[in-house]
Amino acid sequence: MSGDINVIFRACESIVSQERLGPYVRSFFLYQSTRRTQTELPTRFWNMIQKALRKMRCLDVLYIDDPARANTWILNDIPKIPFQLREANFRLPWNRDIIKFLESQNKLRQFQISGGIDEDAPQFEDGSLPDLCTFDGHLAPAMQLLSLPCGLRHLRIPLDRSTNKQLLDFIPNLATLSRTLRSLNIIHMPEELSVEAIKLISFVCPDLHYVGIIPLPMTFPHRSMIHDALLAMHNLRDLEVDVSRWSPLPIQVQCNACLQLNSTHTALP
């Protein structure tokens, strides 16, 4: 789908007016091209999107990037939503509309969301999202998902200043996923939490295959503690660490930077 809003609107008009077109849509991407100035879209536009979605009974993949992070209402008319998604990626707030929509999606396997958090968002109903394997989103939604027996395998959580302090309280709750979880990616983890975090992770989820992104302390005692914790993870295959704050940088990092610089210079006319 084009990033041109006018093109998207006309395409949706065609889908709404011509009944035969809707079932052909398997993937729908709604976003504004970065080459254009992103603006808040009018209600008329979102009404058309909602009507078009009701025609897409074979839809597998849905991507919605709302600059206003506000129009979750287009997904709230559950009885008229005909599709069962396999993958969803929303730049929308985590709120009641989103949760009720997700409760209707029994085949969803991959879900990503980034937006604000509504503190009044309800909890999931029992049995929601039975096939969910991959989640990428903030700590609050992740915490709600842990209450479901969905068998998550891949979890990616970006932290921010408001959620940093909650990380160490969150990790023990991953015990509910210890049998299924295989990759855990925590973005923007503060270095001062890295030692305690990896200790908890290795104890709660010792069967992980991937762990990242761990800010590796430069001082030896702390590095040694992380090393000891990792030794308990016998199935670990991939480890991603962050040494960008080291001074000086490790030799290999410096070499990689030089290679990238040389490659850039070679490409210049």
Dist CA 188 CA 158 (whole Å): 6
Q: Residue 207 corresponds to which tokens in the numbers above?
A: 């069967």
- CA 139 to chain CA centroid, Å, is 11
Dist CA 237 CA 234 (whole Å): 9
Residue 263, pLDDT > 80, answer: no
Dist CA 268 CA 55 (whole Å): 49
If you ran DSSP here, which 8-state letter would residue 94 be given?
B
pLDDT band at 4 (very low <50, low <70, confident <90, very high): confident
Using an 8 Å Cβ cutoff, are 69 and 115 in contact? Answer: yes
| Cross-strand pairs, 215 | 242
Residue 119, pLDDT > 90, answer: no
Q: Reduced to 3 states, what is the DSSP secondary structure of residue 202?
A: helix
Residue scoring higher pLDDT (263 or 40): 40
- Helix, strand, coil abundance in the chain, percent, nearest 5: 40, 15, 45
Instruction: Look at phi and psi of residue 173 and say left if phi exceeds 0, alpha if psi is from -120 to 50, else beta.
Output: alpha
* pLDDT tens sequence across 154-187: 999 999 998 999 999 999 999 999 999 999 999 9
Sheet of 183-187, strand order? 27-30, 61-65, 87-91, 110-113, 134-136, 154-158, 183-187, 210-215, 238-242
pLDDT band at 106 (very low <50, low <70, confident <90, very high): very high
Residue 261, pLDDT > 70, answer: no
